[in-house]
Chain A
Amino acid sequence: MQKAAPRPIIKRSYLNLDAIFGHVFSNLTGEPVTPTKIATFYLLRILFQTHFGFRHKRAYYKPFSPAEKERIFHWLYALMTSVVELSYKDFRIVTRLAFDDGREVCKNFYAAMEKIGAGMADVTLNVEDEFYTNKHPKDPKLPANDTVHEAMDLARGDIIQFSSNHSFMYRWMKRLLAQYTKSTPSEVFQINAAMKSWVLSAVESKYHPEFKGEYLPHFIDCSVRARDWVAKSIYFIQKNPRFAFQYNEMLHYTRIVQKRHPDVVEGFLLEAIVQVQLKDSSSAIKAMKSFFELSMFELNENMVHAAKTHRLAVPTQTPLMYAPILQARICRIFGDYQMARLLLHESLQQAQLRNDEICHQMANIEMHTVDILGCRALLEDNNEKTAKHIENERRVQRKALLHIDDLHGHTRSGPCCLSSEEDFELVAEMDSYGKMLMLMKIIAEGNYKLIYDRVAETGITCPVGNDLGERGRKVAAYGAALISSNMIHNGMYHQAKCAAENMLANNCRTDETDPFQAPFQAEPWAIGAVNLSYSQAGVGNYDAALRTIEEMRQNYPEELSWQSNRHVVICAAVINFERFLLKNDYKACASEVLNLAAHSELECKLRQALLLAAAGKERASVEVLEGLNVVDIRGRIRIHMQTGCIYTASQEFRKAAREFADALSLAENTTLKDIVPMVKRRQATMLMCHGQYVECLKLLKECNEGIEQFGSFTEKACYYMTAARCHRLLGKDPRMWLKKSRALVRNGQWPAFTKLVLSEIAALHDVKGLMPDENRLSQICEQFGKLTADCPGRCEWLLI
C-alpha cells in the first residue's frame, strides 16, 4: 500500500459529520446477535475452557491435539458462516456429530443452553482474558513468587495454543462482541428472550433481525454484508443482470440499506445504477449526488490531527474529482452531451489541480467518448483537426504500463483504489479503452486500415495484473465487438462471422456453481451477437439471421438491459426491412422503418427514401435524402449512392453521374474496402442504362474483385445482373454471370430478381437473341410463368 500523502491540517470548522452519521457506535458494524450465534459463542467458550481450563485452573482433560483442534475449528467455521439460522435441535445434532460424548463438551454445552432456557442464567458474551493471552493467571492462593507456577508456565510453552488474534474465528468473535457490547439493556433483554424461546421451542424457530418493522434478509443484516451485497449487485448488473435481483426488488433493498446502514454509502451508487437501468435519469443523478455527498469524508488517519479536532473523519476532495465523471456518464447515456462535457471539464480541472493521473485519464476517456458520440463535425476541416488530434491521441494513447510506478507524475491524492495493484489495473483498463476509442474515431472517419499492432492489439489484450474484476475480459470483448463491427463495415461478412462466433462461444464460465463466474451478458456481447446476425444476412442467409435475432431477443430482453436490447431492435429492423424489400412487401418494410426511427435518423431516412422511390415518388425520395445531415463519412457516401440510384431509375443520368462522382471522391479518401466497388458498380449500372456498354464493362472489370470479396448478397446480385446484361448487349457470352446470379439467389429469397434473371436468359436464347435455342427458351418461359403466378411484381433492382 502506498503511503498516504501528508495531509495539510486545515483549521476551519467542518461540516458536522456526527450530525450526519450520529454516534459511530450506533451503526451496526458487527454481526447481528442471533441465537445461533450466541450458541456458537457458548460452544466456542466451552471448547476453550476444555482445552485450556478456567482462569488459573487447568483443564482436567489433556489439551486438544493439533488434529483434534483442526477438526473442532472446521465445525466452528461451519457454524459461524452458516447463512441460515439453525434451530436448537439442529444445533444439538451438530454438537453430537462433532463431539459425541468426548470430554463432556456436549454435556457442558447442553447444560449452559438449558440454563438459559430455564431462565436460570442470562446470556453473557464474555471471554476471560486468558482467551486472548493463552497464559494461565496465577492462582491467587499461591504466593507471589511461586516457582511451581512459573515452571508450569514454562513447560506449557510448547503446548498448543487454542487461538490467536490472527484468525478467522477471532475476527468473527470480535464483530459479535462489538455488536453485543453496544446493545442497550432493552436489546439485551430481547436477546435473552429470543435465546430462551430458541432453546425451548421444539420446532424450528427462526430469529429475524428487523429494522423499523421490515425484515432484514441475511445479506443485508449487517453493514459488512450489506456492503458486500451492494458490491456484488453492482458487479452483476454490469456483467450479467440475469444474476442480479429484479430491479424493483433491488431498489427496495437499496432503500433499506441506505436507511439501516448509513455507513454503506455505496447503496446510493447502486441506486443510481439501477435507476439508469430503469431509464430514470433524474433519480439516478440524485442518487449519485447523495453518494458523493456522503462519501465526502474519510476516516482520519492523522492521529495528531484527530486528537486536536476530536473528529474521527475528515472531508475529502476525491468525490469532487470523480463525481462529475460518473454524472457525466449518466448524462451521456441519456444523450445530454452538453452537460456531460461541462461536467467532464470540471473533473479534468480538479484532476489537474490535484495531479491525479487516474482521474485525469478517466475524465479524458469519457471526454473522448462524448466527443465521438456527440461530435457533429467529423467531416469538416480535416486538416485543422489532425493537428489537434495528435495531441489528443497522445493523451489517451500510452505505452502499456508494466507497473503503476511507470506512470509519470502521478501522486495519489484520494482513495480511488485501495492498493496500487488496483490502480495499475485501472490505469491499464483506461489506457485500453482510450486506444479503442481512437480506433472508433478512425473507423468513423472511414478508415479500414487500423494501426492494429500498436493500438488495437495492445488495447484488446489489456495487460492488467491480477484482474479481479475481469477487466481483461471486458476490454477484450469491447475490442472484439469493435473489430467485428468494423469487418461488417467493410463487407467482410465471413470474417465478421468468424470473429463474432469466437466471441460468443468463448464467453466462458469458469465455475458452474459460482454466479460470479457466469458468462458475460453485457453490451459488447450483444453487439457480437448482432454482428453475427448481420454477417449471416450479408451473405443472404436470412433464416440463420432471423434465428440469431430470436435467440438474442431471449437473451437480451428490454427489461433486463435496454442498452443491449437496442442493438437487437435495430438489427431486427434492418434485416427484416431488407427481407421484405426483396419480396416487394413495402407495407411490412414501412413498419420496420418505424422501429429504426428512434435509433438512427440516417438508417431510417435512407430506407424511407428507398421505399418512396420504389413507390414511384422519386422527387420526394430525393428530398428526404437531401434533407439529411450526416456526420459519418460512410453515411454521406451512402446518401450520394442512394440519390444516384434513384436518378438512375428515373433516367436522369447526368444528375446520377454527378452523385456517383461525389460519392467516389469521398470514397476514395477512405480506406473502406467495399465502398469503392459499390459506388463503381452503381456507376456501371447507370452507364448500362444509359447505353454505354463498353465503359460499363470496363468499370465492372475494375470492381470485380472488390465485389466478389466484399460485396453483400444484394450487391453481388446486382453486379452479376449488370454484367450479364452488359455482356449480352455487347454480343458476348453472359452465361457465366447468369449462372452466378441464379446460384446466388436461391430458395425464393428474391423472387423478383429470379424473374429478372430468367427473362435475361430468355433474351439470350430468343430467336433473335445471341444463342437461339427454342428448347431452352420454352423451359425458361415455363419457369417464369410459374414464378409470376406465385409472386407477382417487378424487380426494382436499379434502386439498390
Chain B
Amino acid sequence: MDFSIVKTQILNNRRTFRTPFKVSSMCFSSQNDLIALGSKTGEILLKRTSWKMIWKTNINMIQAVGTECKLDSSVSALHFSPDGRFLAAATSKGIIHLLDVETGKVRFSVKAASEKIAKLHWNCVREKPFISNLGEFTTRIKNVEAIEGAIELAETTPNISQEEIAFVYQRLDEDGSSFKHEDAHKESLERTLISTETFRESLQNTILLATDDMDSKIIVLVAGVFPYMEIDISDTLLQYNQSLLMLYDMHYSSAFGGVSFLATTYGPFLDCKQNELKPPGAEPKKDGQGCHTLLFNVKLNINSSLWDTALRYIRLLFGFNLYSISLETTKRNWEEQIDNLHSLFDTKTKAVKIGNVLLEMLLSGSTDAAGEAFLERGLGTDGLDKIELFATKHMPEVCRIARGQLSTSARNLCFQRCEFSTSLSRYAKFIQLKDDDSFLYDEDPPAYLSESNIWLNTLEEKINILDMKTRHLGIQCLTMMQELGHLVKWISMTKPFAKTMKVNALMKIKRMNIAKILLYIVRNFIPDPEAVKDIENRLFNLKELVSKQKKKDLEDKFDEVEYLYRLERIAEVERKKLIETFHEKFRFADLDDDDLTPLLFQELDHPIDIFTDSMMEQNDSSPFLEEDEGEPEQEEQKPDEEPEPEGEPQPACDLDRVGSFFEKELSQKALEVLPKCDETFDCVLNERGSRMNSIEIQKMGILRVLEDLAATLSSPQKIHCDKAGNQKKLEVSFIYEITSTPTHQGYQDAKISSVTPSYYKRHPFNQLSGMGRSIQVSVLQKNEFSSIVIVPTSDVLPEDENEVNDHVEKLKRCYEFEKIDVTVDKSSAENRPPGETDAMEVDSNELRIDVDLGPVVPEYDTLIELSQVHPLHHGELVLLGKFTSAQEGTGVMSQMMRSISSYPHEIPEDKDVFAKNSSEDGSSEIPIETLIIHPTIQLAAYLHDDGSKITIGDMKPEVPPIADYEEKTVRKTFRDYQRRRERYREDMGVMNMNDVQYDVLVQEAMDSGRDLTDNGESDEDEEDDDI
C-alpha cells in the first residue's frame, strides 16, 4: 500500500467561465476540442474549449415520432458519437436527439425510454485488430488511419445508395402550389435526412447505450438511432436470484460480444469462473447470500444486416415525418376551403331548401320564385364560379398531394418497411443459425423463424393500411371533384344561369351521367334521410314500386272498376262546382277600384276551397294520396309552416368526402363512396383484401392510422416480445465478480472503460491480441479503490498469453485503507515533475482570469475520502477526493488527483503515486461539483458554484508510451482543417472521402499532442461569457 500523493500542477491554463445557464449535463468530444453543455430548460450549447461558442439550440421544440413537444424537459445526458460528428442528447422525457455537431441541427429523434434518461454511453464496434486484417498494408506508413479510413469507406459505401429506388421525397413544391407547406416544416424535414454516406461513416458500427432514471433498464440503440434492445436489469438479475442494489456503469464491448454493466446486487454467491468468462453454474460458490459487485455481460451479436436495419429505421421515421407533415398542411388548408364551399349553398332561409330547389330545377327547369331567386342572386354566377374554382383548383391540389406527395411517401414507407424487415430477418436468421446445431444435423431441420414476429406484422399491417388509405383519399378526391364538376355544369344549364353562361348545353351534357348527379343531389342536399329514401325510390326504383303495389293490390283485393267509378264521381262533383262558378256574376263594380289583386286572388283561391272541402267530404282518410306513400305532400309542407323543433339547424348540405380522412374516423359521407380493396388475389395475399375491407379498418381515418403507426414505430424494442407481449429472456454470456467480500456494501463510484479507446488505433496494445479490446473496471469507495483489466479470452492467442497476463498484472491497482489520511507530500513536488510543463500553446488573445485572493489561503492537503473515479486510457485514473485542511473551520474540499505516470511505468514506483493539483500562482482551489475529462487530449472541465461556473484546463500529458508517439507533426490548427475542409467541399461537391480524411487528420493531430488551438482569430464574440 504505497499510495502517496504529491502536490504538483495538474491543470495548465486553467480558465473559469460563467455558464449561460445552470448546466445539467456536459460532455467533451473525443475527436475535437469541443464541449457540449446541456441545461434544465432543454438548451444545448456547443463550445470550443477555448470558450468560443459554435452554436446553441433548444431541443425541446423538436418532437420524436409518437411524442408531443414537451417544453419542460431538460437535457439529462449528453454524449458525442465516437467519430465526433454527432451529439446524442437525452431528455428527461426519454427522447434521444442526435444533433449534427457541425450545424447544431437535430438530425434524428427517437423516443427511447418512457422516462428520464440518466446516462448515455456511445461506443464503437471494434472488430479484431485492424492490422491483422490488413495483410499487406502493415508497412509503417505515417498516415495509416487515412488509408484505413479510405479502405473502410470503399468497402462499406456502395456505388449506389439503395433508396434511390424507393421513390424519393423532395416533392413538396411540385404538388401543391396553393397548399403551401410551412417553411419550418420543410426545413425540419430536410435537415432530418441522414444521408447513407453519413450513416456509414459516423453511425454505423456504433452502439449507444442509455439508462433510464430508475436504473432499471439499459436501452441499446444500434448505430445510435435504433432502440433495438432493452435490457431490463432486474429481470436479468433475477435469472441468478440477485436483486439490484446499485447500477454503476455500462459499456458495449465487441470483444465480449455484448453489453456489460456493473452492478452491486444482493443474492447467493455465484460461481463465476473468472478466467473463462462463462455464465455461472447453478451451484453457488458458497452458501448464504451477500452483497456483491458483479460485471454482467448481456449478449448482443452484431452482424452487418443489423446496421442496415438501423439505417432503414431512420428512413422509416423520415418517411413517417414526411407523410405526417404533408397531411397536416393539407388538413389545415382543407378545412378553410370546405367551409367556404358549404357557405355557398346556404340559402339563409328555411323556406328555400337547396336540395329541393336543385332537384326541381334540373328536372322541370323551374321552381318557385324564392328558389330561383336564390339560384340567380344568392348563388349566382359568382357562386358558381367559386364552386368551379374549388373543383378545378383546390380539389386537384388536394388530389395532387394525395396522389403525389402522400402516396409517394406511403410507397416509400412500404419500401422502407420491407427493407427494414428483410434486413432484420437476415439478422435474425444469422442469430438463429449461429449457435443451433440442429440445422446441421437433424434430418428435418427446424424451420427458420417459425413464429413470425408480431411487432413486424403490426408494422406491416399499419403501413399497408396507410398506403391504402392514401390511395382511397386520392380516389375520394376524384369522386368529389367529378361530382362537383358535374353539378356545376348542370346547374349552369338551368334557367337562371343559361342566360349568362355562354355554353353549348349539348356539349356539356354529353358526358354527364344524369342519374348519378340526381342521386348525388338527393343524397347530399336533402338533409332528411327519410325523404331521401322516398325520393330515391321514386326516381330509380320504378319497377320495384310497381311490383310492390301489385302485391298490395292483390292483398287488398283492389277493384280497379270501383276505383274508376270513384274517379268518375269526383269528376262529376267537380264539374258541378265548375258550372256553379260560371253562374256567378262578374262584379264589374269592383273593377272601378285600381287594386285588382284581392279580387283576382279571391277568384284563384276559390277552386282550392272547393277542392279541399269536397275531398274531405268524399274521403275520410287521405284525400290526395294513399296512406302507404307516407303522405310526403303533407310531410314536405309541414316544415314550411312550422319552424323546425330542433334547436340545432341542420346544415344545407355536406359535400365533404375528403375532410374526415384527416381525422381519426371517417365520416358517413366519406364511407358512402369509400373504395373497396380487391379480393381477387386474397388467397395468395393472406386475405389482405377482405381484411382491409373490414368495417373497423374502413372506418379509420388517416390520423388514427398515423397515431397507431407512430406508437408502433417508436417501440421497436418490442421486436423481442413474444405473442403475449412479454419480453424474451436475454442471454447473459458471463458474469465477472469484482468483489464479494462479506463486508462489501457497494461502491461509491465505478466505471467501465476500454483500456485502449477506439481512437488509439496505433497503440501497441492493438497489436497484441487480447489487449486491444480489453476493458478496465475501476471501482471506488470512500476509503478504497481498485482498477482491474478484463481481457476477452476468445481474443487471446496462446502465444501471447504470458505477455497479456503480464500487462494485466501490471495494470492492476488496488488500494485499501483503514482510514484514509494521506497527506500530500510537499517535498516530492519539486523533485518529480510529472511531465513537461508547456503542453499547451498559450493563446495570447485569451482572457486570463485573475482572481484576487484573500490573504490567508488554507491549504487542503489531507485526503479524507474518495468520491469519484475517472478512468483514462491504459489504466490511468483520475480521482476526485475530499481533502481537508489543517486550518480549523475550513471544511472539506473536493479536489482531483491523477496518477503521475502512465502505463508502461518507467519507474515502477510511480505507479502508485498520485498528484494533487496545486496552483502555481497561489490562487485558491474551488470545490469541484462535476468533473469531465476529455478522453484524448485530457482536458478537464469541472463545474462549481451550483453549475453556474465552469473551469477548463488541460492536464499535463503523461509520459508517452512509445518514443515516436510524441513526435510532432506539422502543426496545424483547427481553423486550418476547417478551411481545408471547406475548400475540399467546394472543389469536390458533396461529402466524400475528404471528410474522412479530414477527421482522420484531426484525430491524428490530437492523438499526438495539443495542436488544435485556435490561434487564428481572437474570440471577440465570447468576451461576455468570461468573468
Contacts and interface: CB of A to CB of B under 8 A. Distances in A.
A412 to B, nearest CB: 15
B607 A60 contact: yes
Contacts of A405: none
A100 B549 contact: no
Interface stretch (A6-14, A162-170, A318-326, A585-593): A162-170
Interface string B610-632: 01000000010001111001001
Nearest to B477: A467
A41 B948 CA distance: 96
A547 B684 contact: yes
B506 to A, nearest CB: 9
Given A449-B160, A742-B445, A162 B366 contact: yes
Contacts of B418: 494-495, 497-498
A501 to B, nearest CB: 6
A97 interface: yes
Contacts of A71: 538, 632-633
Given A86-B546, A487-B165, A508-B676, A73 B625 contact: no
Nearest to A705: B304
Contacts of B515: 81
Given A77-B539, A167-B364, A501 B685 contact: yes
B414 A499 contact: yes
A500 B35 CA distance: 50
Interface stretch (B141-149, B191-199, B399-407, B958-966): B399-407
A166 B360 contact: no
- The prevalent SS among residues of A at the interface is helix
Nearest to B536: A74
A103 B564 CA distance: 14
Contact of B685 (A90, A93, A504): A504
Contacts of A27: none
A735 B440 contact: yes
Interface string A123-156: 0000000000010000000000000100110010
Interface string B551-570: 00100000010011011101
A107 B604 CA distance: 23
Interface stretch (A61-69, A205-213, A625-633, A684-692): A61-69
B411 interface: yes
A70 B403 contact: no
B3 interface: no
A512 interface: yes
A461 B514 CA distance: 30
B619 to A, nearest CB: 8
Contacts of A461: 400, 403-404, 407-408
Contacts of A60: 574, 578, 607
Given A461-B408, A742-B440, A450 B566 contact: no
B495 interface: yes
Contacts of B597: 155
Interface in A76-99: 76-79, 81-82, 84, 86, 90, 92-94, 96-97
Interface in B457-513: 464, 467-468, 471-472, 474-475, 478-479, 481-482, 485, 493-495, 498, 503-505, 507, 509-511
Interface in A477-512: 483, 486-487, 490, 492, 494-495, 497-499, 501-502, 504-512
B363 A77 contact: yes
Interface stretch (A283-291, A361-369, A776-784): A776-784
A458 B174 contact: yes
Interface in B331-363: 356, 359-363
Contacts of A495: 165, 415, 418-419, 422
Interface residues of B, number: 137
Contacts of B167: 452-453, 456-457
A338 to B, nearest CB: 35
A76 B364 CA distance: 10
A519 interface: yes
Interface stretch (B101-109, B367-375, B905-913): B367-375
Interface stretch (B319-327, B426-434, B804-812): B426-434
A221 B810 CA distance: 106
Nearest to B363: A73
Given A77-B539, A400-B174, A708-B426, A466 B546 contact: no
B169 interface: yes
Contacts of A473: 475
Chain A interface size, as a band, is 35 or more
A548 interface: yes
Interface string B578-617: 1000000000000100001100110011011001000000
A160 interface: yes
B681 A162 contact: no
Nearest to B606: A62
A743 B369 contact: no
B356 A463 contact: no
A771 B894 CA distance: 61
A270 B632 CA distance: 47
Given A93-B553, A495-B418, A510-B479, A736 B434 contact: yes
B165 A74 contact: no
Given A69-B360, A495-B415, A508 B475 contact: yes
B8 to A, nearest CB: 53
B350 to A, nearest CB: 14
B481 A746 contact: no
B160 A512 contact: no
Contact of B678 (A100, A418, A497, A505): A505
Given A61-B611, A73-B360, A739-B440, A466 B481 contact: yes
B465 to A, nearest CB: 11
Contacts of B400: 461, 463
Given A457-B171, A504-B681, A466 B485 contact: yes
B711 interface: no
B688 interface: yes
A397 to B, nearest CB: 15
Interface of B: 159-160, 164-171, 174, 177, 304-305, 356, 359-369, 371, 392, 396, 399-400, 403-404, 407-408, 411, 414-415, 417-419, 421-422, 426, 429, 433-434, 436-437, 439-441, 443, 445, 447-448, 464, 467-468, 471-472, 474-475, 478-479, 481-482, 485, 493-495, 498, 503-505, 507, 509-511, 514-515, 518, 535, 538-540, 542-543, 545-546, 549-550, 553, 560, 563-564, 566-568, 570-571, 574, 578, 591, 596-597, 600-601, 604-605, 607-608, 611, 619, 623-626, 629, 632-633, 636-637, 673-678, 680-681, 683-685, 688-689, 692
8 contacts: A93-B553, A164-B365, A472-B474, A504-B681, A505-B464, A507-B678, A709-B426, A738-B440
Given A62-B605, A494-B421, 10 more contacts: A74-B363, A93-B550, A466-B396, A466-B481, A505-B677, A508-B678, A551-B684, A671-B159, A708-B305, A709-B426
Ranked 5 nearest A-B pairs via Cβ? A167-B365, A164-B365, A508-B675, A453-B168, A73-B363
